[in-house]
Structure 1
């Protein structure tokens, strides 16, 4: 191989490039990024960056994934501020929005996702996905004393916590019965409900937003109408409605998309339906033997780990490819504490608090399914959570897991 194109300049794309160099690839690596910025880290955007902790300049410096000298050492052909428009696999060519056409020997799809837009064009309604989104939101929050957040998933929960840190009044609106319901079993999610309320958040559960209203004579949001008939007044709204995956440039390419999870459907080696085309990060789904089906994860750790395996397998011969079978891991910082999850926390047949308690807001919970340990979730219990990672890397029964915790 002489030339590899990586589409996506986030954590996954940069990690692919670094892993290719670590694997001995000396050819040309072209890294394509839709945003004009150098690769940066998304997790701080809803936390330290948004609050300006340590000063705005310090936080802006802290989002960059690598220093300029480190990027220079990789000798990348950076194509930033350009969008991949089309993949022509027969020619091994990627066409870009500036008219350039990149012919290559291997391709890694790491084009990620974009924030799902709310159903309104009113001013004062924001999403948070990119660095520019975060800059706009931080500036807007400095001029208000109250915000409404739609969606209590990862982004919504963290924005709510950051806003409370800044002293703003916060209404957090979630259509489900508990926060972070897609990732965390409701029996544990109730603790997160109380955590928000402990910190003064007006948490509205079981009600979705059905309308955005402006004030008389202007085009700016002033009130939200909810499905239960109630309203929330706020001059600033943050919509955390999930993401839309950046797969439109793959239309007619022959790359198979996952009909259930969305994104690009990969095999256990992170390879797509096209030979020599791999995928990593938010956009990639793949089969995981320990979880009885396919996974697609939108977490920082997965972006890094999957990128390393995809890069290895792109360079490797057929007999030396590695399967990607990680222990999924994510964390979320809220109200001065860390929520951590190893494995899966939903759906679960069994939940057991093995250390601490929900009442103390400090605990470790085991989550089981079909007689096996499938997840470990902790709040303010980092060392204890990470202790149990080996149990999830193996096929540990529920009884064996409880015995390990008791010991």
Structure 2
């Protein structure tokens, strides 16, 4: 029975943690809610950091999940700039801050997120080497891109994933010269496979981005702390006044590991193992967002999803489970991206090797289409590019698991709603 004598602690001040706190109050929990965040900024959403905010089209205040006064108004004890250093499961306490402050919990939510992977090459300590994960990173990078644009400067980006491509688009809008270095043969190769990577190659090349596929960054060259060039393993040296490392993110699991919680195999993305109720191997500790690894019944495998929608939905689901509500977390993975005049939404999970074919509905050359990743006639994933209001229909197809006629799937004349019905 949940009552006013209980204390729920949330570790992590991102979207998942903030929405979990909001949900606890919305569901009527009257006990203590303590939200501990290692950043000094109030909880914020991350998509604008590589999109609207980075481009200067959205204000700093627009990124925050709640206005600052919301936390006190809803009796959420917010501790900013405080790092949790240990979880004592036997004593059911969390230790945080430089002085090792302890607080007892009845239920604990780990929403510790992820951190950018670091380049392991000479020169990464130079001042012009950047990562993009936090608001402070975006503020710094925003100024760098503006300066590069004014001075006709060069940005080298290591990695052609979502962050790399979105920053490339932003840099070109500022007027900077951009080179993207990517070991795979296409952008987004691990997500979209080779079939759709060319769409993004052509999009960025049309806006002046230079790609170097099949090569790896080996050294960042500088002098007096300033970046001068980036070298790749094919022997080339690329002019650079700044370098962005966009080679992925790793789940922040050290706290959970030290507490003895089960951690997923790196082959499945790592992360804190949770069940369908987002409970860890300790039933009084839950995990949500980028750090959580859950077995998805629909895809028959364990997933760790780093995108915005997973934090938006996972935080509230974990909060309800902490309250004893019946919860089954099985959301279809979803994310979106904006690059130049291309907007897209992706639903599902279909890494290379998991599907038989990609079916295109619409005109890929004009970048107005829906792509479906299909295995044995069943839709595993769908991506709509500059086609809107179809996400619900795409996700329904994925969830249904029914076999769909390929010609009907490809034909814009056949309503999506009628497929699999």
TM-score w.r.t. the length of structure 1 is 0.93
Is 1:361 matched up with 2:404?
Answer: no
Residues 404, 173 of structure 1: CA spacing in aligned structure 2 closer, same or farther, 3 A cutoff?
Answer: closer
Specify the alignment match of 1:246 in structure 2.
252
Aligned residue for 1:143, secondary structure, equals helix
- 98-107 vs 338-347, which moves further: 338-347
Alignment of 1:214-363 (within 5 A): 214-215=222-223, 218-260=224-266, 261-316=269-324, 321-347=326-352, 348-354=355-361, 356-363=362-369
Measured against aligned partners, the alpha-carbon deviations of 1:37-65 in whole angstroms (never above 9, x if no partner) come to 10111111112211212xxxx51121111
Stretches of structure 1 that go unaligned for 5 or more consecutive residues are none
Tell me the distance in 2 between the aligned counterparts of 1:161 and 1:381. Answer: 20
Correspondence for 1:92: 92
Say whether residues 1:199 and 2:207 are aligned partners: yes
Tell me if structure 2 keeps the 8 A contact 1:345–1:377. Answer: no
Tell me the equivalent position of 2:28: 24
Query: Secondary structure, in 3 states, of the residue corresponding to 2:202?
Result: helix
- Structure 1 CA distance for aligned equivalents of residues 82 and 331 of structure 2: 32
SS of 2:90 mapped into structure 1: helix
Structure 2 distance, partners of 1:400, 1:357, is 16
- Indicate the larger mover: 111-120 or 300-309: 111-120
| Alignment-derived partner of residue 104 in structure 2 | 103
Match of 1:378 in 2: 384
For 2:273 and 2:338, locate their aligned partners in 1 and report how far apart those are by CA, in whole Å: 31
The alpha-carbon distance between structure 1 residues 266 and 72, as it changes in their structure 2 partners (threshold 3 A), is: same
Counterpart CA distance in 1 for 2:205 and 2:212 is: 10
Q: Helix, strand or coil for the counterpart of 2:281?
A: coil
- Distance in structure 1 (CA, Å) of the matches to 2:146 and 2:347: 36
Q: CA deviation at 1:68?
A: 2.7
Q: Distance in 2 between matches of 1:19 and 1:124?
A: 41
Cα-to-partner distance string for 1:186-222 (whole Å, 9 max, x where unaligned): 201111111111111011111110111114xx22221
In structure 2, C-alpha distance between the alignment counterparts of 1:403 and 1:220, rounded to whole Å: 53
Match of 1:185 in 2: 193
Structure 2, unpaired ranges of 5+: 416-421
Contact 2:359 2:406 (C-alpha < 8 Å) held by counterparts: no
SS of 1:162's equivalent in the other structure is helix
Q: Deviations over 1:62-111 (max 9, x none)?
A: 11111234333321111110111111111111111331111010000101
| 1:134-191 CA distance string (max 9 Å, x none) | 1111122232222111111111110000011111111111111111122212201111
Matched residue, 2:142: 138
- Residues paired across the two proteins, number: 397
Residues 1:43 and 2:51 are matched in the alignment: no
2 CA distance for matches of 1:321 and 1:73? 28
Superposed, 1:67-78 pairs within 5 Å as 67-78=67-78
In the alignment, the residues of structure 2 paired with residue 384 and residue 321 of structure 1 have an alpha-carbon distance, to the nearest angstrom, of 29
Which residue number in structure 1 is paired with residue 419 of structure 2?
none
TM-score, reference length from structure 2: 0.90
| Distance across 1 between alignment mates of 2:350 and 2:73 | 40
RMSD: 1.7
